[in-house]
Amino acid sequence: MARIASLQNPLIKMIRSLNQRKHREQEGMFFAEGIRVVEEAVAAGVPVERVIYAPERLRSDRAMGTVRALEGGGAEVVEVSDRVFDALSGREEGQGIGAVIRIPERTLEDIPAGPEALVAVLVEPRDPGNLGSILRTADCAGASGVVVVGTSADLYDPKCVRASMGSLFAAVAVSVPDLGTCLAWARSQGLRCVATSARAERSCFAFGLTGPLALILGPERGGLDEGAVGQCDALVRVPMRGRASSLNLASAAAVLMYEAVRQRMEEKR
């Protein structure tokens, strides 16, 4: 296997182009970098097309084991120089391993429903780092899925992939064009649709969040509009006791999902 040392190599140029959303959509692939992220991709059985690695950076048997596992699974293994890997990585000191992964074709029907379904619905989230953090929280909380609505950050943006720490592959994450589509699906599955708003009278801590539930979180700037609020079954707020008037989206999502988890645990006692 020849090592790639040129940034002008066609494969390297293609992988670098995946930093841009339009190229990810054209190619149907994205680049995920880091040992833990790639390990999670392997564990989840996602379709890895290629594994890219810089051997001088990989000093652990664990990392090389991941490379061998991917190769055994049919992925193309590409060895590159440190310089080339740094050009692919979004970090100052890349870990030396990354994977080109085919974007999965998921729909709302792939989100498991049931009596304890918990789905986070994000309306037009713009920050890919926040989106990745929410995916990680949803995974930790055992949520059924995450739905991204409308014009939003891309689930496969490098910042989102890194912030998710591999949870992108564990949580069922779906994009839909509009809120109406998501709410219609939620109701067909028996989920209550509870929206968040600073204007709500009820605190999320004083409202029942058990049973099949979709938590609807609006954009950080301005929140949900009146039309969206009117389509939901209930409205709650996260209490603010300090000088700040709001939490960022990732923090608000974490509070709400874990309050739902807490209530469900209490209900089972």
Domain boundaries, the chain: 10-102, 108-268
According to CATH, the topology of domain 10-102 is: 60s Ribosomal Protein L30; Chain: A; (3.30.1330)
Report the pLDDT averaged over residues 42-57.
89
Element (H, E) at 202: strand 202-203
End-to-end CA distance of the chain: 58
Q: How far apart are CA 205 and CA 197, in angstroms?
A: 14
Q: How far apart are CA 80 and CA 88, in angstroms?
A: 10
The conformation of residue 231, written as its DSSP 8-state character, comes to T
pLDDT of residue 227: 80
Q: Residue 8 — very low, low, confident or very high, per pLDDT cuts 50/70/90?
A: very high
**Contact indicator for 121, 145 with CB cutoff of 8 Å:** no
The conformation of residue 76, written as its DSSP 8-state character, comes to E
CA distances from 163 to 65, 105, 130, 172, 238 (A): 24, 21, 8, 16, 24
pLDDT of residue 216: 95
Report the pLDDT averaged over residues 94-108.
91
Q: Residue 260 — very low, low, confident or very high, per pLDDT cuts 50/70/90?
A: very high
Tokens of 157: 């943006």
pLDDT of residue 21: 95
Cα angle: 68, vertex 93, 85; to 5 degrees: 50
Q: Which of 35-44, 171-180, 210-219 shows the lowest mean pLDDT across its residues?
A: 35-44
Give yes or no for residue 18 having a pLDDT over 70. yes
Report the pLDDT averaged over residues 143-153.
94
Report the pLDDT averaged over residues 76-105.
88
Superfamily of domain 108-268, CATH level 4: SPOUT methyltransferase, trefoil knot domain (3.40.1280.10)
Which is nearest to 38 in space by CA: 125, 164, 124, 123? Answer: 164
Report the pLDDT averaged over residues 205-215.
96
Q: Judge residue 92's burial from the number of C-beta atoms within 10 Å of its C-beta, 0-12 exposed, 13-18 middle, 19 or more buried.
A: exposed
Q: How far apart are CA 269 and CA 256, in angstroms?
A: 20
- Report which of residues 224 and 114 the model is more confident about: 114
Per-residue 3-state assignment (H helix, E strand, C coil) for 130-175: HHHHHHHHHHHHCCCEEEEECCCCCCCCHHHHHHHCCHHHCCCEEE
Give yes or no for residue 1 having a pLDDT over 80. no
